Chains A and B, each alone.
Chain A
Amino acid sequence: MLHTVIEKNSYQDSIVLMLLTNYLETLDGVNNVQVMMGTPANKDIFKTGGLATEELEAATPNDMVIVLDVDNEDLIDDVVKKAKVYLDEQSNGSDDDNSGEERVKTWDKALEVAKDAPVALISVPGVYAASEVEKALDAGKNVFCFSDNVTIEDEARLKQMAHEKGLLLMGPDCGTGIANGLPLAFANRVRKGSIGIVGASGTGIQEVTAIIHKMGEGVTNAIGTGGRDLKAQVQGITFKDSIALLDQDPDVKVIVAISKPPAKEVRDDAVDLLRAAKKPVVAIFLGEKPEAHEKGLYRAYTLEETAKIAVGLLHGQEPTGNEDVAVKVPTVTLQPQQKYIKGYYSGGTLAYEAATLMNNTLGLHAENGVDGSILKKDGYEVLDLGDDVFTQGRPHPMIDATKRKEMMVSAGQDPETAAILLDIVLGYGTTDDMAGDLKDTIIKVKADAKAEGREIAVIVTIVGTDMDPQDYSQQQKTLEEAGVILCENNAQAVKTALAIVGHPVEEKPLPILPEKPSNVQMPAVSDRLKEMLTATRFLNVGLESFADAINESGGSAVQFDWKPIAGGNVELQKALLFLSKVDLKVGV
């Protein structure tokens, strides 16, 4: 049944009325509706739309007309009321003032809008990364390259190019960083402070910065180098320039260097450079068990120790050997056959640290694992579920818990399993509630084992801080409710697991040897490079969430919605290149 409501002398813009019509159509009980001003042309439209009424004819161009098809007449008042509320709301304007948002789609525009940004973040598909990095370097930007799948030849060439221009290339495959207290890519929010970090490992940097934060200190700049920087082909170009940069940063009091052991050819150079630093340095070569400190260059075995020695030095305290506090071992009643530890990690370096500690403590003499299986010996197992083998066609385990749940369930059914190790990485780029996603499975695994008379220890560490976008304390609470053993950091978690299976890690303080001479000259640092330390503005080329993280943290990022040139069409790319160079005078 058609009804006509005429609001006399109530002019509204036609677009507002079209939007209002769309809204009223969604109301329950409304079969059809149209709101327009009563002009002759609009009356024709009412008729064409099957909404002709007699009352309509009386409307003038200054009247707002609602023609309504409802079965229940009681609805009419309600619809008119809702229409008025809608019109009022429209006139109040929208809340999302995104006038500050800066978004570009081409390099020309990007360099114009972000001309004052000293750093470009690049996260484009790997095949395009090298050329985009080169463009950014050519434009005088320091580059943080998240993209992977760049050849090592390109990496060496681009890093040399950056070095010659007085710029820094972080990455490729650089997962995390902190610049002037702002999170780059997958990073935790930590307070600013006097410890400067250079690292070739993503979760290694995250773990160390998070522990430093928990200890009340902070990190203003954490520079990622990419995992291959200290290989022979690349010669540690970025590592060296970064150490030099932090050594000259007046706000840095202690330098932390995190890396896998450097290649033989690079090692002496790199270590000598650390010796040449004016500031105390804490170095961790993951996987190596250090035997002695040197005055001014201190060596750590675990990430926890790294952070603690750095904070100690900041407080004027040389390492005492007590950094690795003995863990309190909770009571877990194991059956005789329960011997093994299973580690299911989302962070690669954390998995590596767990494997190292287990390998050395248990004397497993296991070979370095491949394809994400970091350790596999007897029943001991440590997996890096973030490895490419496990992430084909599925999200990263920091975002999706599916694979970890599967692994936990099967480990729980194995009567020889004594403990399961898990990490939960907070910060930008990870999911909001990993603890919640894992909770039910943890409870079930423990309960199923219990039903068979076994107790299984599930030992978890959270990499993150109370400043992270996730709710740190809520994550803790959720895990406690699930009945896990919650450890402060990964080293503690692994040591707890080892103690539970009866193999506690033995701590032995290292001697501090006298300072060794250095044959290396600290590289000069350009002004452009120094700008990175105080950067507030960034050019983000690719993944938008990286720009969001910077903007939410008080910096500003120009978002470049990058697409391959000509949609990746090679023929068109060649034609465009030809047209950009063709000389029309000579042209055919």
Chain B
Amino acid sequence: MVYKSIDEANQAVVSKIIAGSPFLLDVVPAIDVIDEFKHGKVLLHAGPPITYDKMIDPVQGACIGAALFEGWADNEADARKLMESGEVTLIPCHHVDAVGPMGGITSAHMPLVVVENRTDGNRAYCTMNEGIGAVLRFGANGPEVIDRLRWMRDVLGPVLSKALQTREPLNVNVLIAKAIAMGDEFHQRNIAASLAFLKEMSPSIVALDIDQKDKEDVIQFLADTDQFFLNIMMASAKSVMDGARQIQEGTIVTAMCRNGYEFGIRIAGMGDEWFTGPVNTPHGLYFSGFSEDDASPDMGDSAITETFGVGGFAMIAAPAVTRFVGTGGFFDALHTSEDMTEITTASNPNFPIPTWDFRGISIGIDARKVVETGILPVINTGIANKKAGLGQIGAGTVNPPMEAFEKAVLAYAKKLGFEE
């Protein structure tokens, strides 16, 4: 396909985003769907490419947890030595059709949700949400964390997989449309979608001919985990954005992610190339005893939700979390969502927001508009302690660095023949 202008190419990308149709097919061990795991010791991480020495403490902590989980070492010191040795190959999740929350550390035997974008036939993957408290994504790697990962590998993954095989693949768009009307914005708040997911899955789970205790544990875990849907949302957004970026023209942002060190974006016209800048530290509300001084720099692939048009872009959909925007309320959320319309290309009519007079979510971030206006995307995010394993200490919002968008716009202009 040849496009006359960038506007026309951008419109084509946006049309693909609107047409995207993600379905949850299965939950499988990572090694079954990602070939890279078959070649030596491999870990996936969030964000653009990074080396171990540049990783911040929580991400290193998660690497150590993954090494322990995979049985590469039986104690923390040995695991750390292994990571420092460089023997473990580090690959961005995004390079293997995957996304990962916070540290995004993913290893061969972790179960992944498999989402297929039926419009373009491509698939995307993400680990499952571990719940809150001491969890690997925030860098915790103690016995309870590893035990939970094992249970997810041995019970949760297989049970969900079996349950999914007994029913039609789960149409994720339907869940999103329902839950956005129930006040989810799919980054800070996924409780409605998580409950809708539980409602969809529980008849299949309870009907399985498996150990009763496993059934109960799985149902209990899903009932307890308010953010369970986030990871499904991430894989779905990834599948839709990867489908859309098959068009390799134009300035629509097709991925935003961060590794705790750098923030990276991709735009359609520059294919797989990352444009990066230093990450910022989120602003928001902190749990007692913590402040911005304790906060880890921004990390995680979860900004794929904003790239898709939810999260900070749909802040107005979730009045319950609006106060994460500083101490403001409804109207601050409205202003945030209105601002985001100034850097996006269209509305997605499939996901109307009742609190926004049924306007569709804003989609197609145009890197040109970001540079032109100086308005940066707003990303809703959890805030991790900068020390590994201490977990979440607050929540808030964060902006990407302008530099990443400037580099992308300049590189694309030069590719098209612009001379300074």
Contact = CB atoms under 8 A, between A and B. Distances in A.
A580 B77 CA distance: 55
Interface string A548-588: 00000000000000010111010110111011101111011
B371 A21 contact: no
B341 interface: yes
B331 A579 contact: no
Contact of B287 (A34, A569, A576): A34
Given A45-B287, A566-B371, A566-B372, A106 B342 contact: yes
A523 interface: no
Given A15-B321, A41-B132, A579-B409, A50 B417 contact: no
A105 B371 contact: no
B4 A584 contact: yes
Interface in B3-23: 3-6, 8-9
Contacts of A579: 6, 251, 368, 409, 412-413, 416, 418
B120 interface: no
B354 interface: no
Given A48-B390, A575-B410, A584 B251 contact: no
Contacts of B334: 99
B289 interface: yes
B249 A584 contact: yes
Nearest to A586: B417
Nearest to B135: A41
A327 B394 CA distance: 71
Interface in A277-291: none
Contact of A572 (B131, B287, B327, B409): B409
B335 A103 contact: yes
Contacts of A575: 409-410, 413, 418
A48 B249 contact: no
Contacts of A40: 133
A576 B371 contact: yes
Contact of B342 (A36, A44, A105, A583): A105
Given A105-B375, A566-B372, A582-B416, A44 B320 contact: no
B287 A18 contact: yes
A105 B344 CA distance: 13
B134 A44 contact: yes
B285 interface: yes
B6 A580 contact: yes
A425 interface: no
B207 interface: no
Nearest to B286: A18
Given A103-B338, A565-B372, A584-B249, A34 B415 contact: no
B71 interface: no
A587 B249 CA distance: 11
A44 B133 contact: yes
Contacts of A13: 320
A51 B290 CA distance: 13
Interface in B223-275: 249, 251
Interface string A35-51: 01000110011001111
B40 interface: no
Given A50-B289, A94-B329, A584-B416, A104 B342 contact: yes
Contacts of B402: 567
A576 B409 contact: yes
Given A40-B133, A583-B4, A567 B331 contact: no
Nearest to A16: B323
Contact of A49 (B289, B321, B410, B413): B289
Interface in A6-65: 13, 15-16, 18-19, 21-22, 25, 32-34, 36, 40-41, 44-45, 48-51
B51 interface: no
Interface in A487-512: none
Contacts of B288: 21, 25, 32-34, 45, 49, 51
A49 to B, nearest CB: 4
- Tell me which of A13, A569, A575 has the highest count of chain B C-beta atoms within 10 A of its own C-beta: A575
B118 to A, nearest CB: 29
Nearest to A564: B374
A473 interface: no
Contacts of A32: 288-289
Contacts of A33: 288
B406 interface: yes
Contacts of B369: 106
A41 B417 contact: no
A109 B342 contact: yes
A98 interface: yes
B385 to A, nearest CB: 8
B257 to A, nearest CB: 23
Contacts, number: 133
B331 A98 contact: yes
A585 B410 contact: no
A18 B371 contact: no
B292 to A, nearest CB: 13
Interface in A84-115: 94, 96-99, 101, 103-106, 108-109
Nearest to B327: A19
B209 interface: no
Contacts of A51: 288-289
B323 A19 contact: yes
A579 B288 CA distance: 48
A584 B372 CA distance: 21
Nearest to A570: B420
B214 interface: no
A429 B369 CA distance: 33
B324 interface: yes
Contacts of B324: 15
B220 interface: no
Contacts of A569: 406
Most buried by B among A22, A40, A94, A579: A579
A309 B250 CA distance: 65
A15 B285 CA distance: 8
Contact of A105 (B251, B339, B412): B339
Contacts of A571: 410, 420
Interface in B328-375: 329, 331, 334-335, 338-339, 341-342, 368-369, 371-375
A576 B372 contact: yes
Contacts of B406: 566, 569, 572
A48 B290 CA distance: 10
B6 A22 contact: no
A195 B369 CA distance: 46
A582 B342 contact: no
B341 A585 contact: no
A15 B323 CA distance: 7
A109 B372 CA distance: 13
Interface string B367-397: 0110111110000000000000011001000
Contacts of B412: 579
Given A44-B133, A106-B342, A584 B374 contact: no
Nearest to A21: B288
A106 B327 contact: no
Contacts of B410: 571-572, 575
Closest 4 CB pairs of A and B: A34-B288, A49-B289, A575-B413, A18-B285
30 contacts: A15-B321, A18-B394, A32-B288, A32-B289, A33-B288, A36-B287, A44-B133, A45-B391, A48-B391, A49-B290, A94-B329, A98-B331, A101-B331, A105-B342, A105-B375, A106-B342, A109-B342, A565-B373, A571-B410, A575-B409, A576-B409, A578-B416, A579-B412, A579-B413, A582-B413, A583-B5, A584-B5, A585-B4, A587-B416, A588-B415
Interface of A: 13, 15-16, 18-19, 21-22, 25, 32-34, 36, 40-41, 44-45, 48-51, 94, 96-99, 101, 103-106, 108-109, 563, 565-567, 569, 571-572, 574-576, 578-580, 582-585, 587-588
Given A582-B5, A582-B413, 16 more contacts: A15-B320, A34-B289, A48-B289, A49-B290, A96-B331, A99-B334, A566-B372, A566-B406, A567-B374, A569-B406, A572-B410, A578-B416, A579-B251, A579-B418, A583-B5, A588-B417
